[in-house]
Amino acid sequence: MTSTLKIEGLRVEVAGKEVLRGFDLTMHSGEVHVIMGPNGSGKSTLAHALTGHPGYKVLDGSVTIDGVELLTLSPTERARHGLLLALQQPLEVPGVRPLDLLVAAGADPTNLRDRMRAEAERVELRPDVLDRFVNVDLSGGERKRAEMIQLAILRPKFAVLDEIDSGLDVDALGAVARRLSMATTEWDCGVLAITHFRRLLNELTPTMIHVVSGGRVVATGGPELSEILERDGYEPFRTPQS
């Protein structure tokens, strides 16, 4: 069944300032949507608001998966409704191992360890990382690869990834992009990727690219939009308020 993720008129306040000012985006299963935009335009604020981070106050708008409102649900319930978030700065969770985290998020415990090992191999992550506490003492690249294991086990309807490529070496970037690309066909996962780099798009072909400026989407287009951005920068897309 095709699922739809719909973000409508989302307004979010952070530290007393309205950062998202009417953000709209609709996407479907199996699609790859990419969000690009200048520093401070609200991209991570969107990711935080989608997770239900307490510091990000939703003033207005809605976020639904197949018509079910997520904004009134707890972060765990959002995950159970099919939304997986990978933040720009992944949280360290001392005392919790990756397997426990996955079970808490609703993963079927049957053969879970074996499945995690197999997925670690697919993204070339050393299996001993699976025995450490979540994200503690992991390098940036190891964290991102570990997130790909979460993705593969939880099989969310939609995965939102903030700056998945920041700090990744070329091999890690390729591994992450290929894993995401496979997810779109393996279980029809919808991928919403926030990035600054066109390089990612070589291995993860976008259905649509959205340019964010001043807390809202100011342009939407196909892959050709990334070429325009590379050539002209964000200046032509800036709105008076941004």
Ligand X SMILES: Nc1ncnc2c1ncn2[C@@H]1O[C@H](COP(=O)(O)OP(=O)(O)OP(=O)(O)O)[C@@H](O)[C@H]1O
Site residues, ligand X (CB under 6 A): 14-15, 19, 37, 39-45, 55, 88
Residue 213 in contact with Mg ion, rule: CB under 5 A: no
The interface partner of residue 42, options being ligand X, Mg ion, none and the CB cut-off 5 to 8 Å by kind, is: ligand X
Asked whether 4 and 190 are in contact (CB, 8 A), the reply is: no
44 binds Mg ion (CB under 5 A): yes
Residue 39 or 110: the one with the smaller Cβ distance to ligand X is 39
DSSP code at position 190: E
Coil, helix or strand at residue 13: strand
| String marking each residue 56-95 x if it binds Mg ion according to CB under 5 A | --------------------------------x-------
Parallel, antiparallel, or unpaired for β 4-14 and 56-65? antiparallel
d(CA 110, CA 9): 41
Residue nearer to Mg ion on the CB measure, 44 or 51:
44
75 Cβ contact partners less than 8 Å away, ≥ 6 residues apart: 51, 52
How does DSSP classify residue 187? S
The CB-of-166 to ligand X minimum distance in angstroms stands at 8
* Residue 195 binds to Mg ion (criterion: CB under 5 A): no
CB of 18 to ligand X, least distance (A): 10
Contact between residue 81 and residue 65 where contact means Cβ atoms under 8 Å apart: yes
Q: Which is nearer to Mg ion, 88 or 181 (CB)?
A: 88
Complex with ligand X: residue 41 or 184, whichever CB lies closer: 41
Q: Which residue is nearest to Mg ion (CB)?
A: 44
Cα separation, 234 vs 211, in Å, equals: 8
State how far Cα 238 lies from the chain centre. 24
| Among ligand X, Mg ion, none, residue 14 binds (CB under 5-8 Å by kind) | ligand X
Give the number of residues in contact with Mg ion, rule: CB under 5 A: 3
For 43, other C-beta atoms within 10 Å of its C-beta total: 24
Q: Which residues bind Mg ion (CB under 5 A)?
A: 43-44, 88
